[in-house]
Amino acid sequence: MSTSGTEILITTSDDVPNRRITSVLGLVRGNSVRARHVGRDIQAGIRSVFGGRVGVYAELLEQSREEALVDMVAQARNKGANCVVATRLSTSQVMSGAAEVLEYGTAVVLSD
């Protein structure tokens, strides 16, 4: 992923094939907490009666995942990393109508 700067490789595995981890820089994370919108709840409620994909919630979660990812990459970049290994994604309800998306991993430096 590249967001204004150096390319940061992100992987769910603990290592990168044919590359050596030369430095472990520590935990990096990004999170996003978003609340539902009444108008979207009404639209989703109608969709649940007739069935099908609830696009308004899918879009909300996609935006939250992207925001968490961007934050995690920024932390990795600030530590001087060029890769984040063992990346994980977690979601939880923090209150009625609001959910948190947390993305985390280990910032490392890979050899060239």
CATH number at residue 100: 3.30.110.70
Residue 1 lies in a domain: no
Give per-residue burial for 12-24: e unless 16+ CB within 10 Å, then b: eeeeeeeeeeeee
Q: pTM for this one? A: 0.76
Q: What is the pLDDT of residues 32-54, one digit of tens each?
A: 887 755 455 444 454 455 555 55
Residue 20 falls inside a structural domain: yes
Distance CA 35, CA 112 (A): 42
Query: If you average pLDDT over residues 2-21, what whole number do you get?
Result: 86
Q: Report the pLDDT value the prediction gives residue 15, as an integer from 0 to 100.
A: 94
The Cα 67–Cα 61 span in angstroms is 10
**What is the per-residue pLDDT across 78-109, written as a single tens digit (0 to 9) for each?**
999 999 999 999 988 766 667 789 999 999 99
Number of separate domains in the chain: 1
Distances (CA, A) of 39 to 11, 36, 45, 92: 37, 9, 10, 22
Residue 75 lies inside a defined structural domain of this protein: yes
User: Which residue range is the domain that position 39 belongs to?
Assistant: 9-110
Evaluate whether residue 2 is within a structural domain: no
